[in-house]
């Protein structure tokens, strides 16, 4: 039976450790604070931001919320970003995406102080990740790739020298996870597949680890998976159940593929909780680095 990599349980352990670290910071008069900027009232974004603040409460991180209406223009959004940059109570913050049509998300992210970039997605911090493959990084790291690696490590899955196939070239995971997987402390060999890849199934079958992040339900089938591969399912799709008529969340990996795997992440309940835990970890680490 394949090993189920329980992101909920591992995230809970990480948050317990963070709660202890936050308490130690508080003894020194340091109080980490996570800021969120939400533009509009998209239900999924609203739920996601609310979950982040519940996580903050759980570990003792202060919550700072800024909400703007859906018709807020780029200048108004930038004003709020700059306010977070200057707010001493804010250790790190995120701008919840997507932003309204017509607003350049990259231009908004560029305005974030890299030292307060809780998502680890500012161009400066991504550049640090590119330039420093060795040693300790002292800048925030992308949450989802970091969550993937920490989840695998928590189950003693060593990636050194392993052939890893990444599906999808989005910035949130596809392009950034390769940077982290090829750091010296991980040392994996990475193949990045996308819509222009010829014979993608061959790359999948040759992989010892598959990280799927396309948002295409069930794109990784049992026929695509080598025996005893590790399957990391990051994709999120909403599909309608043909029997109940209700919508449900599914991943990129067909559940039938799990039978051939050595280990797999459930979806939901795998990478998602780890991403949220890494956001908190970034905030706590920023506070620790700033007060050493």
Instruction: Supply the residues annotated as catalytic.
Output: 52, 96, 119
Count of helices and strands (H, E) across the chain: 9, 11
Q: Which structure tokens are listed for 219?
A: 């794109």
CA dihedral (94, 212, 192, 159) positive or negative: positive
> To 10 degrees, the CA torsion angle through 134, 9, 168, 278?
-50
Cβ atoms within 10 Å, residue 276: 21
Cβ atoms within 10 Å, residue 46: 14
**Cα separation of 49 and 51, whole Å?**
5
Strand partners, 232: 211
**Distance, CA of 253 to chain centre:** 18
**Distance, CA of 146 to chain centre:** 7
Q: Which structure tokens are listed for 30?
A: 């340091």
The DSSP symbol for 228 reads T
**Cα separation of 205 and 221, whole Å?**
10
> To 10 degrees, the CA torsion angle through 153, 157, 161, 164?
-90
């Amino acid at each position: 039976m394949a090993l189920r990599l329980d992101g909920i349980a591992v995230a809970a352990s990480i948050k317990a450790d963070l709660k202890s670290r936050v308490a130690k910071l508080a003894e020194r008069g340091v109080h980490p604070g996570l800021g969120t900027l939400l533009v509009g009232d998209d239900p999924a974004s609203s739920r996601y931001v609310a979950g982040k603040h519940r996580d903050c409460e759980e570990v003792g991180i202060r919550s700072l919320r800024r909400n703007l209406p859906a018709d807020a223009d780029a200048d108004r959004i930038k004003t709020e970003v700059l306010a977070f940059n200057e707010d001493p109570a804010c250790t790190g913050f995120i701008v919840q995406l997507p932003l309204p049509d017509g607003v350049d998300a990259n231009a908004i992210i560029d305005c974030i102080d890299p030292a307060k970039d809780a998502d680890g997605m500012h161009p400066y911090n991504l550049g640090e990740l590119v330039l420093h493959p060795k040693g300790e990084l002292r800048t925030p790291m992308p949450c989802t790739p970091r969550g993937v690696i920490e989840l695998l490590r928590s189950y003693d899955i060593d990636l050194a020298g392993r052939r890893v196939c990444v599906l999808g070239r989005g910035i949130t995971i596809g392009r950034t996870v390769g940077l982290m997987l090829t750091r010296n402390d991980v040392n994996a060999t990475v193949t990045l597949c996308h819509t222009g890849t010829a014979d993608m199934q061959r790359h999948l079958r040759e992989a010892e680890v598959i990280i799927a992040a396309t948002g295409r339900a069930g794109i990784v089938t049992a026929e695509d998976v080598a025996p005893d591969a590790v399957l990391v399912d990051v994709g999120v799709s909403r599909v309608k159940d043909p029997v109940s008529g209700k919508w449900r969340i599914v991943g990129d990996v067909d559940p039938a593929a799990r039978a051939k795997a050595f280990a797999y992440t459930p979806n939901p309940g795998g990478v998602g909780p780890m991403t949220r835990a890494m956001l908190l970890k970034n905030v706590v680490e920023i506070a620790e680095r700033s007060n050493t």
